[in-house]
Structure 1
Amino acid sequence: MFIDQLYTEETVDEEVDFYDKEWTKDEFEALMSQQNTEELMQAILFFAQSDVDVKWFGEKLLQLSYDSQAIVRREVAECIWSNMTHQFTEEQNQAFIETFKKDQDPDVRMYVELFEEKLTYSYEMLQEEIKQNIGGVYLTFYLDGYIIIFIMKRNGVLN
């Protein structure tokens, strides 16, 4: 009979790692001096989306913004614009803007205008960007002149 053939299947949620590898600060710094561009770009994204020492990471990205390979400089510019702009200090952002203004690659220079626009976002525009990017729940408020944003995560996944 059909009902006798039904059963309950128990599933176990498996954590899916977005990255094949997780890098330490020392490993990242070593990658910066190697010629493994693909792994370096993966590591940049890993740190941009991790709980990272922002001052340290900003210093490393500034060093990489002078890399001899345009693809690395473009990755740095994209990373800063899409993930890090509002985490860096005004001085760090200005250093990136000045560096990218002088870059020979037009794709890198294009990010200057995007940075400057993003830095002038109103509170409402910043909220809307976050909402579009995460499509989910967040809480924002001001504290001592800073915009504080909490995004709910569960098991490394935005909820």
Structure 2
Amino acid sequence: MTAKILVSACLMGHAVRYDGAAKPLSHPVIERWRAEGRLVTLCPEMSAGMPVPRPPAEIDGGRTGADVLSGTGRVVEKTGSDVSGAFRTGAENALSLALATNCRFALLIDGSPSCGSSFVYDGSFNGERVAGEGVTAVLLRQNGIEVFSDREVEVLVERLAGYSAARLMRRAKVAVAL
């Protein structure tokens, strides 16, 4: 069975971002993975019923997705509305889809309060970044799904090659044992 990859819908060209835009990821391997049936596309916010467009949202107070999941942090829109519940629901939806479709990996847009895997914005709406993860990225990692940012496609390519080689070795050992 081929390892599947959960991918942020905006990276696949879907206009689902808060501003109604997409952030298509242009990389030759994406088309190959699509042809192989490896890609499972989802926007966590859209899956939670959030509209497009919607006000920009950031994790408040320089906190991260782990804080939102634990209830000690919150995601707020620029308007001041607390949308933490929708972001938690979106993360849970992403995890459910990943598990149901055998996704072992995720390729997510960095910086997003959902999908950020190395940084998120600090809640000031001034473009200030803090190291950390978004709500969905944290929940996926907590459940054994390896998360890569849109800037780490080559790292994911290498990891998939290692994963496939390890699976072949395990199969060979099982066949020999039989």
Whether the TM-score (by the shorter chain) exceeds 0.5 is no
Radius of gyration: which is bigger? 1
Quick check: which one's helix share is greater?
1
TM-score with structure 1 setting the length: 0.29
